[in-house]
Amino acid sequence: MAKINVIDSIMGSGKTSWAIQYMNEAPDTERFIYITPLLDEVDRIEDKVKDRMFVQPDNKKGEGSKLRHLKDLLSQGVDIASTHALFRAADDEVEELLTDGGYTLILDEVMSCVEPVNLRKGDLPRLQRARDIEIDPTTKRVIWIGDPDDNSRYTDIRLIAQAGNLYCYRDTLLVWAFPPNVFCAFDKVIIMTYLFRGQEQRYYLDMFGFDYEYNAISCVDGRYLLVEYDPKNEGREELYRLINVYQGKKNNIGYRQNALSATQLRKRAEASDKAFFKRVQDNLYGFFKNDAKAKRDDVYYSTLKEVEDKIQPRGYKEPRKRANQRQEDKRPQVVLPINVRATNRYADRWALAYVFNRYMHQNVKAFFQDQGVSVEDDLLAVSDLLQWIYRSRIRNGEPIELYLPSSRMRGLLEAWAKYEI
């Protein structure tokens, strides 16, 4: 089993620059697969790694399938750069092609390795009664024993189970887990992120018994070096001083511990609580317009995807996209995903609002806990928040204005700055 090197280093410390330097200086015999969240970063790797030709999987060259082209590239032994989305589709054939291929995996930012599987109440016992599945009593893995070509409404369940990636927990719930043997097939695995201890991928590695070690990045005389991991060297206080966190009545919507969580926001939406969402909308407008005195192109903000359209204030709305609109005419995006990472597209923005209270999905959390893995919700929350904040101009050492109405999230950010978590 490959040992995993986790480069746990604060945003802006040079993780990607180190990876580029490492690949430029590696021997020709070492092959690389570089996986990143966004296509923009794939392009950057292709441009900055000078002595290697990285290839992106292309559905036009894979009979309409990027995964098929990925497999073709692996069989050719070329260097590959791609996204998390494609890598998550890895299957037994990818694992077989990787084995003895001499590949090093560089994973830029953690990826989602465990996700709930949608299942209606009664479906699981129905599948068991029909002898379509059985559940391993030790590992809780779901094994498909029914028709191997079943094309009923359970086809998605069959496919995940046949791939060996479906697990049951608490007798009624199912989750998909990325096949761990894919990581084992690499010669080396390098994961670059920040606050790895709180990430879902850390829990995944613990669950499957992987060994990993920590390093950080230091830049000395223009060279990026791996150094001993020590959080005290991160300069958290300096970064926190650049964040002017709003303190005032607009925070009243988030004073409860679970206020603005995904569960609470969905309940508000299901109850058609127009007064609540109007209040959030007004708060955002007041913060951007009056407190920050920011223009539309100065801001970005985030909330749960399902309620984004309910809170957008006038003058700061996400523009409607037209199919025939020219790229140069498109206005900059202002509503970002709550888990945005690894992009510098918004490095000029300085007025931010994070209308969310981050918790791990309860089904995923329960799954890890049932596997004996301890989960740190608070560290996950502050990690995602910091990544989100760092998309702004703070990455250039410039101050920002932040509206963070959740009292829990404000407390976690302050605790992080004081090295309390």
SS3 31: strand
Q: Which residue is listed with tokens 């957008």?
A: 312
Indicate whether 95 and 202 sit together in one domain: yes
pTM: 0.87
Indicate whether 135 and 171 sit together in one domain: yes
The mean pLDDT value for 11-16 works out to 90
Indicate whether 273 and 379 sit together in one domain: yes
Q: Read out DSSP for 20-65?
A: HHHHHHS-TT-EEEEEESSHHHHHHHHHH-TTS-EE---GGGTTT-
Give residue 317's Cα distance to chain centre: 25
- Which residues contact residue 73 at a Cβ distance below 8 angstroms, ignoring those fewer than 6 apart? 55, 57, 80
Give the C-alpha separation, 292 to 351, whole Å.
7
Mean pLDDT estimate for the chain: 89
SS3 419: coil
Domain termination site, one of 177, 208, 223 = 177
CA distances from 399 to 237, 274, 393 (A): 13, 34, 7
137-141, 181-185, 356-360, 406-410: least confidently modelled range = 137-141
Which token pair is 74?
């692996």
pLDDT of residue 329: 41
- Provide the residue type at 30 as one letter: E
User: Please, are residues 420 and 252 in contact by the beta-carbon 8 Å criterion?
Assistant: no
Indicate whether 105 and 226 sit together in one domain: yes
CATH number at residue 409: 3.40.50
Q: Read out DSSP for 271-338?
A: TT-HHHHHHHHHHHHHIIIIIS---GGGEEEE--GGGHHHHPPTTSPPPPP-TT--GGGPPPP-B--T
Indicate whether 172 and 188 sit together in one domain: no
Indicate whether 69 and 125 sit together in one domain: no
Domain termination site, one of 157, 177, 197 = 177
Q: Is the pLDDT of residue 39 over 80?
A: no
Which token pair is 219?
């830049």
Q: Which residue is listed with tokens 């994070």?
A: 354
Host domain of residue 281: 237-321+330-417
In tens, the pLDDT along 90-106 reads 888 888 989 888 899 99
Indicate whether 43 and 159 sit together in one domain: no
What's the domain count of the chain?
3
Q: Is the pLDDT of residue 49 over 50?
A: yes
Indicate whether 266 and 347 sit together in one domain: yes
User: Please, are residues 177 and 167 in contact by the beta-carbon 8 Å criterion?
Assistant: yes
Indicate whether 96 and 129 sit together in one domain: no
Indicate whether 167 and 198 sit together in one domain: no
Indicate whether 78 and 225 sit together in one domain: yes
CATH number at residue 68: 3.40.50.300
Indicate whether 277 and 197 sit together in one domain: no
Domain termination site, one of 177, 206, 223 = 177
Q: Helix H segments across 59-122?
A: 66-76, 84-87, 92-98
Sign of the Cα torsion 278, 254, 301, 114 reads negative
Q: Give the CB-side neighbour count of residue 123, counting CA atoms within 13 A.
A: 15
